[in-house]
Amino acid sequence: MVSLDVNVIDQNNQPVYFLNKEDFTVFEDKIQQQIISVNREEIPLSFGLVIDTSGSMRSKLYAVTDAARYLIKEMRPNDECFIAQFKTEAQLVKGFTSDKHELEVALDELFISGSTALLDAIIATSDYAQKKAHQRRKALVVISDGLENNSAARERMVKQMVKEYDVQIYLVGIVDKGKFNILGRAPESKARDLLERLASDSGGRAFFPKQPEEMTGIATQISQDLRAQYVINYYPRNDLREGGYRTIHVEVNPKTHHKLIARTREGYYARPTK
């Protein structure tokens, strides 16, 4: 059985809670699937707070940690969280725990230095979440100015990892206005495009506060987004587990619910059963 975590939002980017099984259509490799069940009960969450502490984030760190504290306070009893910081490389500050006090103390250990290896950090922390998480639903909340300048990895490698690990990525881009580069495109525009693509590929979202003071409000939206998910279950019509990648698309019936948007992962690998 395939289980999909699906967010549904309206035209105002607000979560939609009232849908039933009959309101959804699932396509796998463009073939419509028979949905077995759609559930809205909350399930425990394993998530990571992945915070850019490179030199360009110096003036923003206080607002960022405030938002991180809000997300920690919103944890449910069976949730777990880890904290990582990244600059030239990713560093695990606190491993998965449900202890809110330990997580808040770990935020005080963050320090600013170095350049930004955003893509390397997403790969490293996604790998950690996939291997160490105890809950099925996994997510990363990555907070960065998005000015990638030090990663060995490339964007296509991150996209491949997202497909492999089934980790939703929520990216918060505190992107400054900057001078145009020699290609005639502003660095903040490139950063924004990169963050939006990475979030979309995983079924997550990208947020772009205009001021660091908006961070707490965005943390509230992310917390709601993580909780306001449907779990859609189906058995694929193609029951061969040959290891190939299968694309997924979920729609909300436009005749009964006009202009609602469903977001989920782009697909999965049909791994042979061990």
33 vs 235: CA distance, rounded Å:
8
217 vs 128: CA distance, rounded Å:
28
109-153 pLDDT, tens digit per residue, is: 999 988 878 888 999 999 999 999 999 889 999 988 766 666 777
What confidence score (pLDDT) does residue 149 get?
66
126 and 50 within one domain:
yes
- Identify the three-state secondary structure at position 266: coil
90 and 21 within one domain:
no
What confidence score (pLDDT) does residue 178 get?
54
- State the DSSP H helix or E strand holding residue 84, giving kind and residue range, or none if neither: strand 80-86
What global pTM score does this model have? Answer: 0.82
214 and 257 within one domain:
no
Residue 180 lies in a domain: yes
What confidence score (pLDDT) does residue 184 get?
43
Let me know: does 6 contact 250? Beta carbons within 8 Å. yes
198 and 170 within one domain:
yes
152 and 168 within one domain:
yes
CATH number for the domain harbouring residue 181 = 3.40.50.410
> Tokens 């549904």, residue?
8
Q: Going residue by residue through the chain, which has 274 residues, state the pLDDT in tens, using 9 for 90 and above.
A: 999 989 888 888 778 888 999 999 999 999 999 999 999 877 789 999 999 998 888 888 888 999 999 999 999 989 999 999 998 889 999 999 999 999 999 999 999 988 878 888 999 999 999 999 999 889 999 988 766 666 777 778 887 777 788 888 999 888 666 543 333 445 667 767 877 888 887 888 888 888 777 888 888 888 888 876 899 999 999 988 887 889 999 999 887 777 898 988 888 888 776 6
108 vs 128: CA distance, rounded Å:
22
What confidence score (pLDDT) does residue 196 get?
84
22 and 67 within one domain:
no
37 and 62 within one domain:
no
What confidence score (pLDDT) does residue 179 get?
40
Q: Which of 95, 79, 94, 164 lies closest to 123 in space, CA to CA? A: 164
Residue 69 lies in a domain: yes
178 and 108 within one domain:
yes
- How do beta strands 35-39 and 31-32 pair? unpaired
Residue 16 lies in a domain: yes
147 and 31 within one domain:
no
Domain boundary residue, one of 212, 227, 242: 227
What domain range includes position 10?
Answer: 2-41+229-269
Residue 274 lies in a domain: no
137 and 36 within one domain:
no
Q: Which of 93, 95, 86, 202 lies closest to 145 in space, CA to CA? A: 86
180 and 57 within one domain:
yes
Domain count, the chain: 2
What confidence score (pLDDT) does residue 180 get?
36
Residue 208 lies in a domain: yes
Torsion over CA of 120, 72, 197 and 144, rounded to 10 degrees?
-60
- How do beta strands 31-32 and 137-144 pair? unpaired
261 and 211 within one domain:
no
How much helix, strand and coil, in percent to the nearest 5, is found in the chain?
30, 30, 40
